[in-house]
Amino acid sequence: MPNIIREIADSAAALAKGFTVTFKNLLGPTVTENYPAEPVHFEDRYRGIHILRRDENGLEKCVACFLCAAACPANCIYIEAAENTAENRISAAERYAKVYSIDYNRCIFCRYCVEACPCDAITHGQGFEIAAYDTNALVWRKEQLLEPAPAPPEPHDRPPRVLPNQVPNPNQGLPTSR
C-alpha cells in the first residue's frame, strides 16, 4: 500500500513539473512568426539566398577569380569571366563575372563561398522564398543575385540649371534673373 501512495505522489510530482513548463511558456511572449501575413524576423547570421555586392561606385565587386567556385563543396557555382574595357567597365578590376549562377538544387548554404571571396563580393542575404516546382528555376542567375544599382542622384542634389536669361549671382552662387 505505501508503494502505491509513493507512485501516486511521484506521478503527481512529474505531472506538476511538466505542466509548470507548459504554463510558463503559455504565459510567456509569443515567438511564432505570423508568416506570410507579416515579414519573418531573422537573426543576423541567417544564411539565405546569396547577394552579389556592388562597391561604393556602383561597380560589381566580383572580379571573377573563381575562388568561391573552387571552395564550394557542392560544385554549384558557375562563372564565366570577361575582360573590362574602357567602354564597358563592370568591375573595378581587370575582369568581371559575365555569367555567375548558383544552383540552389545543390547549395547547402555552408557559407564556404562567402568565406573564400577575397573581395567581399558575395554574401548571404535573408531571402528564403526559393521553392519552385521546376528545378531549372532553382538555378539563380547573376541578374537575380546582383544587388540593384544605386539610384541616380535626386534632382535637388544636382547643381541648379542656368537658363539663358539668368546670370550667376556671385553673392549666393545661385543664378538670378536679369
Number of residues that bind ligand SF4 (CB under 6 A): 27
**How far is CA 136 from each of CA 57, 104, 159, rounded to the nearest angstrom?**
33, 9, 48
49 binds ligand SF4 (CB under 6 A): no
Q: Is the CB of 48 or the CB of 175 nearer to ligand SF4? A: 48
Q: What secondary structure does DSSP assign to 80-105, as a single string?
A: EEEE--SSS--BSSSEEEEEEEEETT
> What's the full length of the chain, in residues?
178
Tell me how far, at minimum, the Cβ of 22 lies from ligand SF4, in Å. 38
Closer to ligand SF4 by Cβ: residue 42 or 112:
112
- Under the binding rule (CB under 6 A), the answer on residue 68 touching ligand SF4 is yes
Does 51 interact with ligand SF4 (rule: CB under 6 A)?
Answer: no
Cβ 145 vs Cβ 51: under 8 Å: yes
- Per CB under 6 A, residues contacting ligand SF4 are 62-68, 71-72, 74, 76-77, 79, 97, 102, 107-113, 116-117, 119, 121-122
